[in-house]
Structure 1
Amino acid sequence: MDNLLSGHTNGLNKLVTEAKLNGVTLQNRIIKAATFESMLDTANTISDRCIEFHESFASGGVGMTTLAYCAPEPDGRMMEHYMYIREEIHPQLKKLADTVHKHGTKLSGQIAHCGAFSRNKKLSRKRPIGPTTMFNPIGIPYGSFLTRGMNEQVMREVATSFARAAGILKNAGFDAVEIHFGHGYLLSQFISPLTNKRKDKYGGCIENRMRFPLQVLEYVRKEVGTDFPILGKITMYDDVKGGISLEDGLSTARLLDQAGIDGVILSAGTSSQNPMLLFHGQSILKDLLKYERNPLIRLGMKMLGKSMFKDYPYHELYLLDAARKFRDSVNCNLIYIGGATEPESMEKIMNMGFDFIQFGRPLLRDPAMPKHLIELGMKYSNGCDHCNRCAPLMNAPEGIHCVLPEWEHTEK
């Protein structure tokens, strides 16, 4: 390894050498981000194709790969055919873990609850849950006009489901869990003043709005123990009027850090209102319409397209200006995500004191990116053109993948 890295810069050396994450050692600081696979079998569990998908990143040398959208309970699924974590699917979860581990890669599971962001017509609670009883535009085509504000009993039920899911993943051989506190999902709905209109101790100031998300973290930590890594993906800001501000994001990270989280993933945007902030680059609207089957949803997307799918031209490290403000605010690991496609960008992130980098599109483009970085160093070129045509494939039958030709090295 030392010989391979002798010509590399310090930041790139740091990225591709091993690192500790709580009680787990990763072979490098490269983490495959959760990108919803849409690769389920008829029993609503991960398919062998999904296992092969993650094995491609493991054989390519990532430090850790992440199984996306592990709903903690049936009502946590955005759509009824999505997967939720339960004991019955332990064999496939274990098969995934064993397969990934053969290559020296660790495995994380992203636990996410959709809350009010739901199209699920088979809800045990009859209505989607959220912090506040509100009008529910996304549910109208499915006969669900209102969300249901959560009382403390429902909060305990949901927090328990997060903990139960984390325990099942750990027992199946997963090495970490990632709790989704961002992107407009349930815990983010509590954090955002736009969706949290409560007048009790769970609403108002950011400390109150974080009370339930912190309760979820507490339940999960109690279940998995002190030496098991827990990461949290947050929305630093969502660029939506009345939504999560950068000050809210900084407070979210500080409160999670104080509560003992092992790492914070610094994302931005909200899937339900401002998804392009997550991606930057070419709009995903055209291809989303291609795969959307509900005519009312299609109509709404067409009518709101320009306001919902804002124009954010791609540039390298597009979230760095916001993310760099978090380093002085927390002591836990910070995981950067957003526009790190070329080695110069990765170098800069490492030299600025971030601990890990999560990659989505660059690893879809080149699953063996870690090995190629070791081999080529600063001469490496990823080739992702930020067309974002991979993202809408999360809802396509074939599942998410890069639409470009297979990666080949071209000299920089």
Structure 2
Amino acid sequence: MSGTQHGIADCFSPASINGLQLKNRFIKAGTFENMTPSGVPGAALNNFHGTLADGGIAMTTLGYCAVEADGRLNEGMMYMHEGIRPQLTALISDLHSRGTKVSGQMAHCGGFSKNSELRRRRPLGPSFGLNGLGLSRGMLFCDAMTLSDIDELIQHYYQAAVFMKSVGFDALEIHFGHGYGLCQFMSPKTNKRKDNYGGSFENRMRLPLQVLAAVRDAVGEDFPLLAKISMTEGVRGGLHYDDAIEISKLLDSAGIDGIITSGGTSTMNPMIMFRGGNILPGMLRTEKSRVMRLALRMMGKSMFKDYPYHELYFLKQAKRIREAVSCKMIYVGGASSNASFATLMEQGFDFIQLGRTLLSDPDLPNRAQADANFISRCTHCNDCVSTIESPQGIHCTQF
């Protein structure tokens, strides 16, 4: 059997993360599907993830599980609280009955929010600054967290983790990337603090590591914890690939079980993570706010740069992290064929996260296992990104 054939075979072999056995190497990436009206998971979200379960995915991720109400980007997102226990328990139980494990993506928006139900006048980030997402709601700025706010945030992560384990999640994914709350502390671009939470790399990593310790304390040593990072923010003065190696080493030493090597930032340069068709035209087409449409027209070309799609576009940099850590490695970014899946197995990655390709091919694992020459139908047009706030939820517009 050739190396490629071995790699393909490995894709469909079982593997484990901190004792959690997965039936194959495919994991659904965490995304916000806009299928939680008023923040409550229901039939639409059940059907979406149920279809993926029936299609053979080993573990699906419920995206953007905010750790508190003010941690949501908008009021339609879920946050972890007792009021949704019955719905979450039923959803996870159904997915388990279909043979699929379930991960929950723990997230907080920090200073990037358009949530009309904020308890405060402004969202809170590491430093005072602009809140680009809140433009349409008149929320132009974010305020800096006090030390008391930081302590409260850590406690929110702890409490959310206790709750999420109790409703049946099999793993938790802490979102350290994409320009959201913890990433804002990690990045010198957004963290201008002068205290022990800002300045040096060690200080900027203080809160993320405290959050990881709190979540680990909440769930115990034998529960899988994953970290999603941005290997680069793709902006001057932000996090870059060399930083990602040091970030990963710290997370590995602190006991993370797996690292997901993503990239880009939703707040400044989202196209680094998407690649392919530019998302700006679709956003202009679907954005309801006149103010936001004007802002997109004025700043769109600088924020939404063109990055042509090619397979495995993060592989070179992700391999550098693979060589620097001992925890499990989960690749995401431009894997849409059996040839690419095999390459990732051959290069020492343990699991593969899939996002856009599962919108076009929700039965991808089953189809890929049945066809050695499988190539996803996804055209990487990125039109699906513009459906993220569609009434029917995120979906492929091509098939």
Following superposition of structure 1 onto structure 2, how do residues 399-410 of structure 1 map, counting pairs within 5 Å? Answer: 399-405=393-399
Partner Cα separation in structure 1 for residue 185 and residue 357 of structure 2:
31
Matched, 1:183 2:178: yes
Q: Please report how far the alpha carbon of residue 126 of structure 1 lies from its aligned counterpart in structure 2 after TM superposition.
A: 2.2
Q: Please report how far the alpha carbon of residue 376 of structure 1 lies from its aligned counterpart in structure 2 after TM superposition.
A: 1.2
In the other structure, the counterpart of 2:388 is 394
Partner Cα separation in structure 2 for residue 31 and residue 137 of structure 1:
31
Match of residue 159, structure 2, among 161, 164, 173: 164
Amino acid at match of 1:78: L
Per-residue deviation, residues 196-221 of structure 1 (Å, max 9, x unmatched): 01111111121110100111111111
Matched, 1:117 2:109: no
Task: Give the 3-state SS of the residue equivalent to 1:390 in structure 2.
Answer: helix
Per-residue deviation, residues 54-81 of structure 1 (Å, max 9, x unmatched): 0111111111000011111111011123
In the other structure, the counterpart of 2:371 is 376
In the other structure, the counterpart of 2:35 is 39
Amino acid at match of 1:261: I
In the other structure, the counterpart of 2:19 is 23
Kindly indicate whether the alpha-carbon contact (under 8 Å) linking 2:34 and 2:76 is maintained by their aligned counterparts in 1: no
Match of residue 78, structure 1, among 73, 80, 98: 73
Q: Please report how far the alpha carbon of residue 8 of structure 1 lies from its aligned counterpart in structure 2 after TM superposition.
A: 7.5
Kindly indicate whether the alpha-carbon contact (under 8 Å) linking 1:115 and 1:130 is maintained by their aligned counterparts in 2: yes
In the other structure, the counterpart of 2:187 is 192
Task: Give the 3-state SS of the residue equivalent to 1:395 in structure 2.
Answer: coil
In the other structure, the counterpart of 2:325 is 330
In the other structure, the counterpart of 1:283 is 278
Per-residue deviation, residues 333-386 of structure 1 (Å, max 9, x unmatched): 111000001111111111001111100011111111111122112x21211111
Task: Give the 3-state SS of the residue equivalent to 1:20 in structure 2.
Answer: strand
Partner Cα separation in structure 2 for residue 275 and residue 315 of structure 1:
16
Q: Please report how far the alpha carbon of residue 145 of structure 1 lies from its aligned counterpart in structure 2 after TM superposition.
A: 3.3
Task: Give the 3-state SS of the residue equivalent to 2:244 in structure 1.
Answer: helix
Which piece of structure 1 moves more, 245-254 or 234-243? 245-254
Give the gaps of 5 or more residues in structure 2. Answer: none
Q: Please report how far the alpha carbon of residue 282 of structure 1 lies from its aligned counterpart in structure 2 after TM superposition.
A: 0.3
Partner Cα separation in structure 2 for residue 71 and residue 297 of structure 1:
24
Task: Give the 3-state SS of the residue equivalent to 1:75 in structure 2.
Answer: helix
Match of residue 134, structure 1, among 129, 133, 136: 129
Kindly indicate whether the alpha-carbon contact (under 8 Å) linking 2:113 and 2:131 is maintained by their aligned counterparts in 1: no
Question: Number of aligned pairs?
Answer: 399
In the other structure, the counterpart of 2:10 is 14
Q: Please report how far the alpha carbon of residue 316 of structure 1 lies from its aligned counterpart in structure 2 after TM superposition.
A: 0.5
Aligned residues: CA RMSD: 1.6
Amino acid at match of 2:386: P
Per-residue deviation, residues 284-337 of structure 1 (Å, max 9, x unmatched): 111112221121111101111110000000011111111111011111111100
Partner Cα separation in structure 1 for residue 55 and residue 3 of structure 2:
21
Kindly indicate whether the alpha-carbon contact (under 8 Å) linking 2:4 and 2:339 is maintained by their aligned counterparts in 1: no
- Decide whether aligned partners of structure 1 residues 309 and 328 sit closer, same or farther in structure 2, where only a CA change above 3 A counts: same
Task: Give the 3-state SS of the residue equivalent to 1:170 in structure 2.
Answer: helix
Amino acid at match of 2:33: E
Amino acid at match of 1:169: M
Amino acid at match of 1:47: G
Partner Cα separation in structure 1 for residue 97 and residue 44 of structure 2:
17
Partner Cα separation in structure 2 for residue 81 and residue 369 of structure 1:
29
Following superposition of structure 1 onto structure 2, how do residues 238-253 of structure 1 map, counting pairs within 5 Å? Answer: 238-253=233-248
Task: Give the 3-state SS of the residue equivalent to 1:9 in structure 2.
Answer: helix
Identical aligned pairs, as a percentage? 49
Task: Give the 3-state SS of the residue equivalent to 1:147 in structure 2.
Answer: strand
TM-score by length of 1: 0.94
- Decide whether aligned partners of structure 1 residues 374 and 215 sit closer, same or farther in structure 2, where only a CA change above 3 A counts: same
Partner Cα separation in structure 2 for residue 276 and residue 294 of structure 1:
22
In the other structure, the counterpart of 1:408 is none
In the other structure, the counterpart of 2:200 is 205
Which piece of structure 1 moves more, 63-72 or 151-160? 151-160
In the other structure, the counterpart of 1:309 is 304
Which piece of structure 1 moves more, 80-89 or 25-34? 80-89
Give the gaps of 5 or more residues in structure 1. Answer: 406-412
Kindly indicate whether the alpha-carbon contact (under 8 Å) linking 1:206 and 1:251 is maintained by their aligned counterparts in 2: no
Kindly indicate whether the alpha-carbon contact (under 8 Å) linking 1:31 and 1:357 is maintained by their aligned counterparts in 2: yes
Per-residue deviation, residues 31-53 of structure 1 (Å, max 9, x unmatched): 01012110123x42112111110
